[in-house]
A and B are shown apart, each in its own frame.
Chain A
Amino acid sequence: MMIFNPDPSSVRQMPTLAPDWPGGFWWHWLLFTVIIIAFVLLLVMGYIWLERRAMGRMQARLGPNRAGPFGLLQPVADALKVMLKEDIVPVNADKIVHLLAPIIAFAPVLIIFAVVPFANGALLADLNIGIVFVVAISSISTLGVFMAGWGSSNKYSLLGAMRNVASVVSYEIPVVLSIAGVVLITGSLSMNQIVLAQEIPFILLQPLGFLIFFIGGCAEINRSPFDLLEADSEIVAGFHTEYSGMKFAMFYLVEYAEALVISALITTLFLGGWRGPILPPWLWFLVKVMVVFFVMVWTRTTLPRVRIDQLMALAWKFLFPLALLNLFITGIEILAWPTAIAWLIPVNIAVMVILVLLWSKLFKLGWGRVEV
């Protein structure tokens, strides 16, 4: 609603290297590959530390506080520990599939960061299909979980993998529909353009879309309260039951790197990405990513784990109709008031509150009966 199709020539303040210049292309590629790998690994360690410390505080205990100041070196110690552990492969396992699974789960997570802008134009590849690329690549991760579940030849692993595909397939729909709302406003699929279009952060123009994306994103990456694919009271540890040593560490890394992806996507799509006053852009990006993850930790410690029928019902009966309505309302708003209008913000927030309240009245799990 703010800007329709911002002119690419006017918005590029930072000179980016022409991609058809061979030397420039390779330097650009090398620089951003190193940045992305370092960013993901460091922030995953930061996330693990933040999660354990914050969860400790919220559960009225201390959390890890021995290794280094404030326990900051705890993730490093953990990483060293898992690398030294013995790698155990079950006798009946499909060895190649068992080996490839953590790699196939991890690679897409890194690839997604190729299109996430850290500052204006500071991204590996400013694809003009950016967000479609993200949705497409993230669907490959499911395959890694599947391979782990199958290759382990363990019934709990397989059950965990089946639960994972059920949740991913269901939550993909509301998540993509909520992204479509943002794309409608921006008029572009490029992640950089989406950030540049956010004179007002889209969380204010798309509050319902933000809510749906946050819930759906948490469910897709199986964070608590949707972590029933590795519910330890039911199916040991789900798909990574039979993993140990470095391969287990890879899955652990994937789990937090996916949380990082969802935080970075929420930041880029709804919170204005790297934009913000005074501080440099990359710092704003980091701060926002950290805040989003803190909210995820907060919901994890607050809410109990859902059952599988509740997980499905939430996706199909609650998020899916609301996502459709959100897309419809956004379309009407763009057709009716295509220019910058501040009064749409309170209207949108009111619409969100009314719809969520209304639907939570209508939405009962089988009207009180327990059904799967």
Chain B
Amino acid sequence: MGVTIAFWILAVAAILGALGVVLLRNVFRAALSLVLCFLAVAGLYVTLSADFLAAVQILVYVGAIAVLIILAIMLTRDVQRGSPGNRLQLPAFIVAALFLAIVAFAIFQTSWQLAELPPPAPTTSDLAFRLLGDGGFILPLEIAPVLLLAAIIGAIVLVREK
């Protein structure tokens, strides 16, 4: 009961936030609206007993990516007069609609498996065993930091003088 109420509040907040990103003319407010969407999605993860995922969602998307977006907006010229218009509205709408159609198709075509067991209480240790234990995802886990490191070094090389 409580979870259902929470789900509807969070779902409405997430959709309003997402609509705000698209419809608001002011870029800065659109970015803040994106933050609301991220927070609501984190709340949805909590209702699904994925507490660690929710914390990481806030940490990565609100703490890092949203702040990065806002920083980029602050460094952009002519942004005080609102969002600069262009003619990509129709193509953007078509691409977004196609993407929505694909996602909706995938969701409705998948036969979802329902677990009988309640979710495990401390999720973090199970997660750690899956990632780092025998037969886990240690290789992808190591490849991702190498990729990020390459990106960081690339950024440093790009901005270096001389």
Q: Which residues of A contact B (CB under 8 A)?
A: 94, 96-97, 127-129, 132-133, 135-137, 139-140, 142-143, 146-147, 150, 153, 158, 161-162, 165, 169, 172, 188-189
Contacts and interface: CB of A to CB of B under 8 A. Distances in A.
Contacts of B62: 136, 139-140, 143
Dominant secondary structure of chain A at its interface with chain B: helix
Given A128-B121, A143-B67, A165-B71, A94 B28 contact: yes
Contacts of B122: 128, 188
Contact of B67 (A135, A153, A169): A169
B19 interface: no
Dominant secondary structure of chain B at its interface with chain A: helix
A129 B29 CA distance: 31
Contacts of A189: 124
B52 interface: yes
Given A132-B52, A132-B55, A140 B29 contact: no
Contact of A158 (B29, B55, B56, B74): B74
A169 B46 CA distance: 26
Contact of A129 (B32, B51, B71, B74): B51
A252 B121 CA distance: 39
Interface in B48-89: 51-52, 55-56, 58-59, 62-64, 66-67, 70-71, 74, 80
Interface string B99-129: 0000000000000000000000111100000
Interface of B: 26, 28-29, 32, 35, 51-52, 55-56, 58-59, 62-64, 66-67, 70-71, 74, 80, 121-124
A188 B26 CA distance: 44
Given A139-B59, A143-B62, A189-B124, A94 B29 contact: yes
Contacts of A162: 71, 74
A28 B112 CA distance: 37
A146 B124 contact: no
Contacts of B52: 129, 132
Which are the 4 A-B pairs with shortest beta-carbon distances? Answer: A139-B63, A136-B58, A136-B59, A136-B55
B32 A97 contact: yes
A135 B51 contact: no
Nearest to B75: A162
A136 B71 CA distance: 19
Contacts of A169: 67
19 contacts: A94-B29, A97-B28, A127-B51, A128-B121, A128-B122, A128-B123, A128-B124, A129-B52, A132-B55, A132-B59, A132-B124, A139-B62, A142-B63, A143-B35, A143-B66, A162-B71, A165-B67, A165-B71, A172-B63
Most chain A CB within a 10 A radius of its CB, from B58, B66, B80, B121: B58
Contacts of B63: 136, 139-140, 142, 172
Nearest to B73: A150
Nearest to A128: B122
A165 B35 CA distance: 16
B58 A146 contact: no
A117 to B, nearest CB: 17
Contacts of B74: 150, 158, 161-162
B28 A150 contact: yes
A97 B29 contact: yes
A128 B126 CA distance: 13
Contacts of B56: 132, 136
A129 B124 contact: yes
A146 B31 CA distance: 12
Nearest to A169: B67
A142 to B, nearest CB: 6
